[in-house]
Structure 1
Amino acid sequence: MEVAAGGAKEIKQEIQEILRKGGGVLFIDEAYLLTAEYIGGLGRRALDIILTELENNIGKLTGVFVGYKKELEPFFEHNPGLSTRIPYSVNFSDFSDGELWNILNNLIATQYQGKMRVQGGMGGLYVRIAIRRLAQGRGSRAFGNARAVENLLAAIANRQARRLQRERLEGRELDCLFLTQTDLIGPDPTEASKSSLAWGELQKLVGLSQVKDCVNRMIGLISRNYTRELGEKKPLKISLNQLFIGPPGTGKTTVAGLYGQILADLGYLSNGEVVLKTPADFVGDCLGKSEIQTRKILEATVGKVLVIDEAYMLDAGDRGKDQDKFKTGVIDTLVSMVQGVPGEDRCIILVGYEDKIKTMFSNVNGGLSRRFPVERPFRFDNFDLKQLELILKKKLKESDLEYSLEAIEASKAIFERALMRPNFTNAGEVDGCLATAILNYEGRISKLPSHEQALDAVLEAVDFDPDWDRGMRNGELDCRPALEGRVSTSIIDTLSGFQKRCFGARKSHINPRDVVPTNFIFKGPAGTGKTITAQQMGKLFYGMGFISTDQVVECSAGDLLGQYVGQTAPRTKQKLEESLGQVLFIDEAYRFSRSQYGQEALDELINFLTKPANVGRVVVIMAGYTWEMNTLMSTSPVLAGIFQDDIIFENIPPDECISLLARELINANEGIDARGVFADSTSEDYIKIRRLFRSMQSIPSWSNARDVKHLAKKILSKNLELTSDGSLEVDPLLISSQQVIDCMLQMLKQQAGRYKHLGTGDKSQVPFMEPPLGAPATGPVLTNPRLAQLPAATDSEMRTSTAEARSNIEIGINIDTKASATATTNIDILDGSENTRHGHSHREGSGEIGVSKAVLVRVLAAHQAVIIKRNQRGLDHERLCHELLESENAMKQHEGGSGDGEGLEAKCNEIREKLRDIEKEMQDEDRLHQTLAAHGPCKNGYEYVRDGSGYRCTGGLHFIAGSEIPQLCS
């Protein structure tokens, strides 16, 4: 290294000095460093100077190059002429057992002047065991031969000194010139472990049962080897090196120190000190620097415990790609210097997460797996709630701090919420909680008069959490003020019931999580309060201590679905992990059944929620339209088993819509007087407004509260227009009944007009239900083989339901309005019975009013089959047209040729016949549907499909017998 650092100029001066003195020997130790990559060109240029001078001064200058055999191989590869210029090679083998014994015998005789006596004699059992242990390191680069014997004698003398000190304290007679069995080979591990202070400290640690068991087995194996050595049998191979795997804050560093001290007490480590390093301490900033730094660290930690935290960061990357050479150098140096064999005075502990550690071992030098027990690591699990409480009490006792029972309960609530978070830090949470409590205590006490400030610190619940009694105060978790008037009272009662269950369970010492569900299905039409209810559930479950924050993570099914295979599962898993300790609200969940990747998302959701580690750590709400959510649940029995609690949201009744409209108008401007319009529920204007709301609910696009808010904006906008016009004297703070009715009529006309074209015979304007995006053309994406096909209904059943429904809903009322000259003064509005407030929705798939679910399921299935058939027929038509064009072109090319033309003509005729059949089928179907649309009883724009012996509209209400078709066509 000195030669390389000095460069060519300095080594040349040194050689010239030798030659001036008449010649001599140039002894270069660790010669392989001259050609090392990280030395650069300095070492190589110096080597070239040396070789030139040796060749020019034969007989005067002799060069001796010393180094390890393996490392000298690249040294000779540097220059092909080296082997001829350095013709002689002397290999020094490791000393044999006999030679090591001779060295030890001579050292003892020399150091103690022949006066030292040995139990069993120098040729006895205990000396032989000591030599065999030493010889186990033979063959490794770190084996020091004679130096290793010197280190062995130093360890023996150290053990003797400690024994003599104990005997002196016990008052026993001392013999300083006698080496006992314990001095030579260490104490019996079984007895030594009992007297080890580190072993006692390990047993006092909270939890860590698996780690303690692993240490017990290690001590048992060491004890067995000790017994085998006394019987002169080969010891079982064990490695002191270990893998500590687990999350942060579980005591890995603490246990590493105790583990090292236990090994030192058993005589397996000469020091036992713990040295903590990270991968950054090993990786150099230039090529070759990593090897030097790693070697220095390993040499400095002989006899100690080297802990490498976050060791997975030494992963050099996939073997199939370009690996990080800096990290590869670290691992290769570890493999070369660490053997992991009995007798090696070294313990290295790699710390990290299990999955990342295993990935690292699969990517790096395979020799690393032979030096660390990859399949038998020490696993550190997360602490549970009881263990966290014990840790807190232990720390409080160590700090001489008093506490109340309420303080412990408040801290347990903090720990329970922390356990739900994805980055839970175990004992770190306890330290943070205690530090916060001490700061809050100091702030609370400092506000008191000096004479009331007690010297003995007693921590109260308010110190750990200023809002520790959340949910216990009267009305704190009452969601009625926030939800009243926005959702049904039955839903509010359901949420209140969850709160009562929770507090009742705690009073009865029952786990509340066993009686309060955490997975819900919200189903109902749009604008019925599903989102705001989810937000209130976040506050409710946070107050009950079920989740760590009252935040609600909102997303739609589309946010979880990927665009290609393999993208959906990671997206879903990431969103679920982000939601730990919170409420996850998945809107439009029915879209899972419409995508070819939906099942992938559902499988990941099911897998996540059924894992024991995730149960109760997240509240999941899946929301959507009633019919489509029912369909989704029917396609996945496992999903239905997980989400067993439904909360049903119904259309807001007209009277509640009126109350909501009044609130929205007042919230927009507190000075507005809108109560007079809605004060008298028996007035003619109030009845008109109620009927208008019923009519609006019959429109498929009705969105309940969302549309009511939109209506309030229209009314306010219209009022401002009239105010600023100046032509009329209008009070800007007074809303009249006529203004409300005019805006409702305008909104009703606008929305109803969007569906007028559905009743025409223009096929191009009829909505066409395409198959789900990316779905196969053979049928729905999600199917359930357990669902049997529904039986076809009889004509009498169909006619009865049609007649009954028609009598219920086809009642026209005429509202006369004097307001708008541009608006139609006579508008037929469906009124019907009170049940019509749950009007049908095309989007929701609920069909027309009065239709049973069985009938609706049957007609929608038939409609889907018609769509698939049409799509396939269109594909067949396009394919046949393409084949016909190719055949006609081929026939033109063969005109005037041999008999091939006749075969092509026959093929063209066959294709034309098939095309005529398809086109005739399409024309017949078009005529039939035009006839049914023009003359059938359904005026709501629904398409007719075959149902039993006749045709039924996809709304499910109107049926035409097959015998009536000819009469309609004529």
Structure 2
Amino acid sequence: MKETKGCSSPAMDELLALTGLKKVKMTAINLYKSALQFQRMPADVRKKNPLNLNYCFLGNPGTGKTTVARLFASVLHDSGLRSKSTFKECTAQKLKDDGVDEFRKLAQEALDGVIFIDEAYDLDPAGDKFKGAPVVNELITLTENERARLTCILAGYEDDMNAKIYAYNTGLKSRFNEVIFEDFDAKELAQIWTHMRSQRGWSEEDPRLTDVVVRRMMKSCGKKGFGNAREVRKCLEAAAERAMGRADFDPEAMLLQFVDVVGEDPRSNPKLQRVRDDIERKTGWKKIKKTIDVLIMVCGTNYQRELDGEKPLPVFLNRMFLGNPGTGKTTCAQLYGELLKNLGFLSSGDVVFKTAGDLGGSVVGEAQQKVLGVLQSAAGKVLVIDEAYNLNDSMYGKQVLDVLVEKVQGGENDDIAVLLLGYEDQMLSMLREQNPGLARRFPPEQAFYFEDYSDQELMQILRVHCQSEGVKPTMEFQEKARKKLDMLRRSESHFGNAGAVMNLVKAATLEASSRAQGEGQIRLEPSDIDIGPEDDVQQDPFAPLDKLYRMDGIRKKLEQLSNAFAVAQEEGDEAPELGHFVFTGAPGTGKTTVARVMAQILFHLRLLAKDRVQETSGLNLTGEYVGQTKKKVEEQLEAAKGGVLFIDEAYELGKGPFGQEACTAIVAAMTDPKYAGVVIIIAGYPGDINKMLDSNPGLKSRFTHFFEFPDWTAGDCVDLIQKRAAQGSYGLTAAAATVLEEGFQHLRKLDGWGNARDVDKVWKASLQQRADRVVEKSEGAEKTLQASDVQPAIGNLLAARRPKAAPSMPMFSWDDLSCQMPDSRTKEQPTESLKLGEAEATPAPAEAAPDPMDMEQRDPGVSDEDWQELQQAKEAFAQEEARVARELQELEERLKEEAARREQERCIPRSTGTSFASYTRDGSCANMKSLLDFLRLLLCLSLQTAWKPGMTLPGL
């Protein structure tokens, strides 16, 4: 155009001389061509076809938007499109701060020229209705009313302009011509680097240095925020500063070396080695130290690969710090910041601490704004988010994580490192449940795992802390502190580690301060620690079992388990698995009691951290809706941490879908390291427990010990009564003991036998009977239980347990009987069954069988008073038996009468097969004999007498 049209524009020449910016240059050339054609049009035509000279420059910083805008003002003037080359520059934030009136004044000053608004997205009219919206509204007016005299140029990121400016008014975008400023490519970045370096008088020691600089910058090229020419300038200024700080720097040569651009080799960097030494001196941290060594090694390999022009190995800056409290996560975060700074990843290396609560919000959008602000303030630093798992609990936490996924890429040039701190299980759960990108930003395999300190490490921390606090722990105190900390470790879900040590020393110091001590350091003694019941080597841990009955087999199994642990400890072998237990037996056999005793035994053997039993039932663990069951199981397991979880009536766990859910939760807990210190005991009836375990092989395989609890004998029951009487200073007569033994013999054969529970009922009832007797007869204060006290107590329990009378039994129904009109033969001749019943109902006294109780001989040494009392008790027992016989005989008579009445009725037979009502051909009730035999059986059961069909009994 210079040659053909004679055009001259120094501004256009300068613009075309800029590095890169191909699209921008084409826009400027096309603008100049349009201007030439426009000037050739008649004035009236130009007025009817005005050009749109408002522009929106979109791109990353450092691409020359401001420089090009200034040149555009001159190009517009040179081309004749504007009468002046006026250029007014401002930022969106300044326009908002000054107000719309100042904006109007600025626009008037820029008439016939250009007004340039940088970072125009900050006007954000939708988000800032009081300051930003008025300015944007005025801008819309200017672009329409003053388009012939004023050119408005906006600049900013493309996505922000679309989201914050154009979205506010759909007609706004059409008022501006968009000009895209692309990031510089590798060749252009190299040209800019060489040009800037030469301008400042620097030269390169090695020609490969430019390639290294460009490769580093190209890692960020194309990403939002990449500084382009500014990034080159920043890199050059940083390299120059390092060069001038070198001891061998020559001001005359002005040479840039590799070390000035990429830093020192991590394998020989003294500053980095000092940080590494600080980490190495920390107690514990075995995995952490290994992970940091690997990081330094990878960075050293990348250093050489970068010089050779090879692609570096990936390095992860953003990590999770996983572990229990007190393991040094916060301390490690500070050292990690120094480490990354000396590796060249961070410009500052300082640490910004935040908690999950600091990032949350109370209204929609607040959380995102908080996170963006925190990320901006943490540039060049390490951002630590403690207790990050709390972000998994609410919608606002989810918003925070989504912003982190969007903004934190984890690149080596991000100049920020984000650390998420928390418990391992909860943090990994958050990764699974939240934005999938979160696991890519914070890969679990790259996490720092902080293990709990060992006993030896805890003692080392204790000694160091005591020294810093000015107190002196004795060796005995340290040993007891070790036991206390071991108990805490096994009983707490999240052991406090160093924090637990500090709390223990603090409490012990306060206790020691209360004692009278001499001048000098405070000595910490074993008595300053409350550890609970201690392991007394002189005490038999199995002694509590001696108070129970039928415990020989159980005691033997527990002793075998104890011996296995003792031998393993003595020989230095791995301790056998403690496992879990199944208790089967009837009620009252001591299952719950043994569970409590077992917790104490295992605690004294140092196999459990607590001697406490968390008691529950299978029904209590079963929820009523999806998810409740698992929560109930976890609550009970947490309460039982370090001790015993006793689940009575565990067979309920096998019933229904929620019961199966509870079984699944328990199986999972048995293999979860979190509950490694919990011993689970399930108990119940043998048949029900076995059925439940057989239906769930996975659950059954988790139990390694099976204890059977046999029923008590009558002698066990009487012995317990005698021991209770002795404890209460009561006497128990021989006659009372005999009545009790005979009564328990009968009682234990009936359904519902409760073993110790029934003994307890009889004991309490006997005391009540004695109290009634003493008050009624106004006897003396002699504390003696007689046969007359215990006989009603056990007799009432026997009566309640005996089978109920026949009318209440559902197996017999008159509706099942079919009958026909009897003939004369039926009326004259009674059935064989009725004759048998009548004969048995009135036996001859002389033929009656002798009562075994009457044949019992009096033992030597039994006093007349005791013998008389025993005979009275026997007589009362016989009277009770006679009463039951009379009731059964009366029932039989009523049945006979009802049968006779029914025989007079005519009905259609309804019974078939093996129905109870089967009739003979002549209409008599053939099964009446069976009914009578059944009634006799009921009597025999109440008398505990063996019986065979057809036998004759007194009273029937």
* 1:310 maps onto 2:387 in alignment: yes
Alignment of 1:315-326 (within 5 A): 315=392, 324=395
* 1:740 maps onto 2:789 in alignment: yes
Q: Hey, what does 2:585 align to over in structure 1?
A: 524
Alignment of 1:220-231 (within 5 A): 220-231=297-308
Q: Deviations over 1:633-687 (max 9, x none)?
A: 66666655543434443333434433433555677xx5xx621x34xxxx44432
- Whether contact under 8 Å (2:325, 2:497) holds in the other structure is no
Partners of 2:763 and 2:130 in 1: how far apart? 83
Q: Hey, what does 2:764 align to over in structure 1?
A: 713
Q: Deviations over 1:329-376 (max 9, x none)?
A: 544544554433333322222333455545555666665555443554
Partners of 2:662 and 2:947 in 1: how far apart? 38
SS class of match (1:550): coil
Q: Hey, what does 1:864 align to over in structure 2?
A: none
Q: CA deviation at 1:230?
A: 1.6
Q: Hey, what does 1:697 align to over in structure 2?
A: 748
Q: Deviations over 1:801-833 (max 9, x none)?
A: xxxxxxxxx996479765899987243899xxx
Partners of 2:361 and 2:137 in 1: how far apart? 28
Q: CA deviation at 1:141?
A: 1.8
Q: CA deviation at 1:35?
A: 3.5
- Whether contact under 8 Å (1:271, 1:304) holds in the other structure is yes
Q: Indicate which of 136, 150, 155 corresponds to 2:219.
A: 136
- Whether contact under 8 Å (1:275, 1:304) holds in the other structure is yes
The verdict on how the C-alpha distance between 1:570 and 1:221 changes in structure 2, with shifts beyond 3 A counting, is same
Q: CA deviation at 1:305?
A: 1.7
Alignment of 1:74-113 (within 5 A): 74=163, 75-86=165-176, 88-109=177-198
Q: Hey, what does 1:431 align to over in structure 2?
A: 499
SS class of match (2:493): coil
The verdict on how the C-alpha distance between 1:566 and 1:84 changes in structure 2, with shifts beyond 3 A counting, is closer
SS class of match (2:710): coil
Partners of 1:925 and 1:560 in 2: how far apart? 48
- Whether contact under 8 Å (1:245, 1:377) holds in the other structure is yes
Q: Deviations over 1:466-490 (max 9, x none)?
A: 4478122533x6564x555443462
* 1:825 maps onto 2:817 in alignment: no
Partners of 1:634 and 1:694 in 2: how far apart? 34
What is the aligned length?
Answer: 779
* 1:560 maps onto 2:621 in alignment: yes
Q: Indicate which of 595, 599, 605 corresponds to 1:534.
A: 595
SS class of match (1:923): coil
Q: Hey, what does 2:337 align to over in structure 1?
A: 260
Q: CA deviation at 1:738?
A: 3.8
Amino acid of the structure 2 residue aligned with 1:731: G
Q: Hey, what does 2:209 align to over in structure 1?
A: 126
Partners of 2:296 and 2:679 in 1: how far apart? 45
Say which is worse superposed, 916-925 or 580-589, in terms of deviation: 916-925
* 1:340 maps onto 2:340 in alignment: no
Alignment of 1:325-364 (within 5 A): 327=397, 330-331=400-401, 333-354=403-424, 356-357=426-427, 360-361=430-431
Q: Hey, what does 1:898 align to over in structure 2?
A: none
Amino acid of the structure 2 residue aligned with 1:225: N
Partners of 1:236 and 1:175 in 2: how far apart? 37
Larger Rg: 2
Q: Hey, what does 1:920 align to over in structure 2?
A: 912
The answer for unaligned runs of 5 or more in structure 2 is: 1-89, 815-849, 855-868, 885-907, 920-925, 951-956
SS class of match (1:65): strand
Q: Hey, what does 2:490 align to over in structure 1?
A: 420
* 1:751 maps onto 2:800 in alignment: yes
- Whether contact under 8 Å (1:410, 1:468) holds in the other structure is no
- Whether contact under 8 Å (1:37, 1:287) holds in the other structure is no
Q: CA deviation at 1:737?
A: 0.9
Q: Deviations over 1:781-814 (max 9, x none)?
A: xxxxxxxxxxxxxxxxxxxxxxxxxxxxx99647
Amino acid of the structure 2 residue aligned with 1:561: T
The verdict on how the C-alpha distance between 1:434 and 1:748 changes in structure 2, with shifts beyond 3 A counting, is same
Q: Hey, what does 2:937 align to over in structure 1?
A: 939
Q: Hey, what does 1:868 align to over in structure 2?
A: none
Partners of 1:507 and 1:356 in 2: how far apart? 35
* 1:47 maps onto 2:136 in alignment: yes
The verdict on how the C-alpha distance between 1:422 and 1:434 changes in structure 2, with shifts beyond 3 A counting, is closer
Q: Hey, what does 2:709 align to over in structure 1?
A: 649
Structure-1-length-normalised TM-score: 0.69
Q: CA deviation at 1:266?
A: 2.3
SS class of match (1:64): strand
Q: CA deviation at 1:68?
A: 0.5
Amino acid of the structure 2 residue aligned with 1:583: V
SS class of match (1:717): helix
- Whether contact under 8 Å (2:762, 2:790) holds in the other structure is no
Amino acid of the structure 2 residue aligned with 1:156: A
Q: CA deviation at 1:553?
A: 0.8
Q: Hey, what does 1:71 align to over in structure 2?
A: 160
- Computed over aligned residues only, the root mean square deviation of the Cα atoms, in angstroms, reads 4.6
The verdict on how the C-alpha distance between 1:246 and 1:635 changes in structure 2, with shifts beyond 3 A counting, is same
Partners of 2:365 and 2:690 in 1: how far apart? 65
Q: Indicate which of 254, 262, 266 corresponds to 1:189.
A: 266
Q: Hey, what does 2:3 align to over in structure 1?
A: none
- Whether contact under 8 Å (1:633, 1:639) holds in the other structure is yes
Q: Deviations over 1:614-645 (max 9, x none)?
A: 44x11222222345445556666665554343
Q: CA deviation at 1:697?
A: 2.0
Q: Hey, what does 1:19 align to over in structure 2?
A: 108
Q: Hey, what does 1:31 align to over in structure 2?
A: 120
Q: CA deviation at 1:561?
A: 3.3
Partners of 1:368 and 1:421 in 2: how far apart? 33
Partners of 1:764 and 1:566 in 2: how far apart? 48
- Whether contact under 8 Å (2:491, 2:641) holds in the other structure is yes
- Whether contact under 8 Å (1:38, 1:288) holds in the other structure is no
- Whether contact under 8 Å (1:593, 1:599) holds in the other structure is yes
Amino acid of the structure 1 residue aligned with 2:746: S
Q: Hey, what does 1:731 align to over in structure 2?
A: 780
- Whether contact under 8 Å (1:268, 1:343) holds in the other structure is yes
Q: CA deviation at 1:460?
A: 4.1
Alignment of 1:371-450 (within 5 A): 371-373=441-443, 376-392=446-462, 395=465, 403-425=473-495, 428-441=496-509, 443-444=511-512, 447-450=515-518
Structure-2-length-normalised TM-score: 0.70
Q: CA deviation at 1:295?
A: 3.1
The verdict on how the C-alpha distance between 1:366 and 1:38 changes in structure 2, with shifts beyond 3 A counting, is farther
Q: Deviations over 1:147-176 (max 9, x none)?
A: 322332343244335533xx7xxxx99989
SS class of match (1:218): helix
Q: CA deviation at 1:255?
A: 2.7
Q: CA deviation at 1:579?
A: 2.0
The verdict on how the C-alpha distance between 1:658 and 1:373 changes in structure 2, with shifts beyond 3 A counting, is closer
Q: Hey, what does 2:232 align to over in structure 1?
A: 149
The verdict on how the C-alpha distance between 1:332 and 1:138 changes in structure 2, with shifts beyond 3 A counting, is farther
Partners of 2:449 and 2:883 in 1: how far apart? 71
Amino acid of the structure 2 residue aligned with 1:939: L
SS class of match (1:694): helix
